[in-house]
Amino acid sequence: MTKHFRRCAGAVVFNSSGLVLLGNRIDVPSDNWQFPQGGIEADESPLVAAKRELVEETGVSSVIPIYTDDIPSRYEFTDEIKKKFRERGIFNDGQDIYFSLFFFVGDESEINLNLPHPEFKSYCWETFEFAVANIIDFKKEVYNSVAQRFAPLISQYLRTHS
């Protein structure tokens, strides 16, 4: 049987301290931190989708795009998640996620989680190490890869733009 992976865009936003923006998912009782992310619409590029998802999930629009993946990272959902999705008529086995890197140029007050369809109960600025350590297990490998690829880009950007 062929597996189906949804096209998805993720937004990695960093600040002048080199920390990344993470949201604590609202739909789970325990802490579950992740980057803003969501599906790519038929007429969208991964960069446009990442910017849209960032605004929809955090209210943040004051960013400078730095980099967007050309090739997606893939993760597969657990059997438990797949079962819950299938009960709701969703038949994705996982996601092919294109990450975009953004530099945050706004004010902290721009971050707003009290939105019409909230995804996060809180947010934080943290290290990639925190992000990798605190992401749900089936996304750990992808987050580790993103951290390894994006950390040097963040360092380079901050060195050349400070």
**Phi, psi at 131, each rounded to 5°:** -60, -45
Quick one: pLDDT at residue 31? 87
Query: Across the strands, what pairs with 69?
Result: none
Quick one: pLDDT at residue 43? 93
Tokens of 158: 């901050």
Burial 136-151 (b: 16+ CB within 10 A, else e): beebeebbbebbeebb
Q: What is the pLDDT of residues 17-39, one digit of tens each?
A: 999 999 999 988 788 899 999 99
> Cα(119)–Cα(19) distance, rounded to whole angstroms?
21
| Domain boundaries, given as residue ranges, for the chain | 5-160
Please determine, looking at this structure, whether the domain spanning 5-160 carries the CATH number 3.40.50.2300.
Answer: no
> Cα(112)–Cα(144) distance, rounded to whole angstroms?
27
Q: What is the pLDDT of residues 34-77, one digit of tens each?
A: 999 999 999 999 999 999 999 999 999 999 999 999 999 999 99
> Cα(46)–Cα(77) distance, rounded to whole angstroms?
21
Cβ atoms 4, 92 nearer than 8 A? yes
Q: What is the pLDDT of residues 82-115, one digit of tens each?
A: 999 899 998 999 999 999 999 999 999 999 999 8
Model pTM score: 0.95
